[in-house]
Amino acid sequence: MGPPKPTFRLTFLSAFTALLVTLAWTTYARATPGIYQQRPSGRDYPDLYEASISELQDGLERGLFTSVELVKAYFARIEEVNLQGPALRAVIETNPSAMEQAAALDLERSRSGRRGPLHGIPILVKDNIATDASEGMNTTAGSFALLGSVVPRDAHVVALLRQAGAILLGKANLSEFAHGRGDTPNGWSGRGGQGTSPYVPLGDPSGSSSGCAIATAIGLAAGCFGTETGGSIISPSNFNNLVGIKPTVGLTSRAGVIPLSSHQDTVGPLARSVADAAVLLSAIAGPDPRDNYTLAQPQDVPDFTQALKADSLQGVRLGVPRKVFASLDAHIIAAFNATLDIIRELGATIVDPADLPDFEELEASDNQTTVVFTDFKIDLNRYIEELLEVPTGIKNVEDLVAFNFEHADQELPQPFWTDQSGLIQAQNTTGVNQAYYEAVAFDYELGGARGIDAALQAFQLDALLSPSNLAAGPAAIVGYPVVIVPLGFLPPDTPLAEANPIRETGPNQPFGLSEFELISYAFSYEQATHARLKMLAYPEAIPKTQLRDVLAEM
């Protein structure tokens, strides 16, 4: 959830306090029950590299395959590339109860039909999202210090996923403690090792929801839930050619999530399409008494799939905050500029430039550091205190720092992963005081009233539009949502950067488009461009196992 390194995708940004949607979705499959009917012969099964949730649900409903077979296929794909072959290290552990869950959901489908669009669909969750330890998985934020710890209950979002009939396939790797531990390479954790991009060999996967992005990009699951504090869904979605939704803070519960900052943390989906992301978000949004931020949101949570209409850009005014582009690669700016013509053809008016009035002040402000590290110490200490059991004996951030020094071979290995300055900086904070309250208030004003809100009002905009996760900072400090969709790829002759231990850039590295209203606009753009499949992952990173291989073994 912590601050990742800069990335390149197209972002849509809005000041709405919830991702309100008004449009109708007509593409989601509604097949009839009958999972155990005779399978049609010669049937083409969905390609798991790109299979949508609706395609998988359609196959399950028509009896082409079962959830048990789907779990077997995903497990086989993980086995191929996670620790073997390119060793992408996307998944920390798989769920030993997944097959049992799948069998129970197959039986339920045959007897009473499906619960909804996620019934029997395997998904991953980031390793900072709690799952009941009795299921057989750990919740560690990638740290050996929390290995074997027992959480009091499922995270609220996990409980909602179970209620929706989703299958928890496993835990995704991440930048340890959501990149809050210190200055370590994106995608590395002590338990999970160094995750890498499926598009550039040894490439930077970004973070902190690195494993989610790697796994979803190449079809190791139907989708994944990550977390964001300041770019940690948007940035890895950018680097791995995905759709990512960073929800408004409070739209989804953080209860049971290993925290970084209660003011900025949020849980959201990473997916291969806007439709899939909308299905996933709809499953986890809503109030939770254990997270008071969710109680400030509308009690009637919208069905975000109703936003999926291809003509939603007609009559919309979108602004381009050009001042944030200064550090971008020329190829990314050129691709973005070409995309503006496509968006105009879809009926939108582009206001360019439409800069945030306080851009320079936003760039100079360090208030976010004060807020996040103060929150980190308070929130993480509270999380550890509520655990039912911690075999390593750690009780707080101070103990965690000491554990890492004492187990340096696991947690501080040479030469790239020795830093824990984030934990030390958090430990050195002095708690909630006047400076902290002033920093919180200043952030809200800087990012909102004098930042995003001011730009929207001054230029009469519906949303802001930019390449990359350039919108992550202002949106993070004020809690606003961001959606990102694939835009393009760096040229094939882009030089491979040196791997230390990961490469910052390389040929065919994806980048995307992000926006602050969000699902509707992203869907319209996605349907017009279909940019994601213009370039696949490098061949060794693409698992070969498909459903037909699993079915052939039965």
> Catalytic site residues?
126, 208, 232
Count of residues making up the chain: 554
Residue 47 per-residue DSSP state: P
| Amino acid symbol at 74 | Y
Residues 6+ apart with CB under 8 A from 69: 547, 550, 551, 554
Return the closest-CA partner of residue 137 out of 170, 176, 101, 167.
170
The residue written with tokens 């919740």 in the block is: 139
CA distance 162 to 135: 12
| Residue among 300, 255, 312, 305 at smallest CA distance from 281 | 305
Task: Write down the H helix ranges in 314-452.
Answer: 330-345, 359-364, 367-386, 397-406, 408-411, 421-427, 434-444
Whether the bond into 415 is cis, omega within 30 of 0: yes
CB 465 within 8 A of CB 318: yes
Q: Where are the alpha helices (DSSP H) in 194-258?
A: 210-217, 234-239
Determine the Cα angle at 47 with ends 45 and 48, to 5°.
115
d(CA 227, CA 436): 23
Count CB neighbours of 448 within 10 A: 18
**Cα(73)–Cα(217) distance, rounded to whole angstroms?**
16
Residue 436's alpha-carbon distances to 263, 292, 477, 497, 547, in angstroms, are: 12, 20, 14, 40, 53
Angle separating helix axes 67-81 and 98-112, nearest 10 degrees? 150
In angstroms, the CA 496 to CA 140 distance is 33
- Classify residue 447 by its DSSP letter: I
List beta partners, residue 125: 171, 225
**DSSP letters of 384-421?**
HHH-SB-TT---SHHHHHHHHHHTHHHHS-TTT----H
Please give the angle made by the CA atoms of 353, 354 and 358, to the nearest 5 degrees.
120
CA distance 220 to 48: 8
